[in-house]
Amino acid sequence: SQQGEEDPQALSIQEGENATMNCSYKTSINNLQWYRQNSGRGLVHLILIRSNEREKHSGRLRVTLDTSKKSSSLLITASRAADTASYFCVLNSGGYQKVTFGTGTKLQVIP
């Protein structure tokens, strides 16, 4: 399968806490990306990590990638109510940049 699987499927935390989402996959990848989708709105790219990278930061986001274990994690620090959304692990694989979405983690941040 070229689809990532996120864990947990749903996560509820208090504002200010950290949120961690994990993604496991089975195929070789060019890169792995994380996207956010707010209810009723479009998909927004958050961060991209290449297969030869191990960790990347962007603001309150930290992504790790372990290609030997075929897994990635997304950490959101100091969460805010506005972070409430679905988060998708997205695999870029193959010579033509096939991009496939996982099942998503639904994050709820309680004010």
Partner 1 sequence: EAGVAQSPRYKIIEKRQSVAFWCNPISGHATLYWYQQILGQGPKLLIQFQNNGVVDDSQLPKDRFSAERLKGVDSTLKIQPAKLEDSAVYLCASTYGRGRGMHSPLHFGNGTRLTVT
CA neighbor of 13 nearest in space, from 90, 78, 102? 78
26 forms part of the interface with partner 1 (CB under 8 A): no
Q: Does 67 bind partner 1 (CB under 8 A)?
A: no
- How far the first Cα of the chain sits from its last, in Å, is 38
Check binding of 102 to partner 1 (CB under 8 A). Answer: yes
Q: Does 61 bind partner 1 (CB under 8 A)?
A: no
106 DSSP assignment: E
Binding residue for partner 1 (CB under 8 A) from 50, 54, 57, 80? Answer: 50
One symbol per residue from 73 to 92: x for binding partner 1 (CB under 8 A), - otherwise; what is it? ---------------x-x-x
Residue 30, Ramachandran bin (φ over 0: left; ψ between -120 and 50: alpha; else beta): alpha
Q: Are strands 105-110 and 10-14 parallel, antiparallel or unpaired?
A: parallel
| Residues binding partner 1 (CB under 8 A) | 3, 30-31, 33, 35, 41-45, 48, 50, 88, 90, 92, 94-104
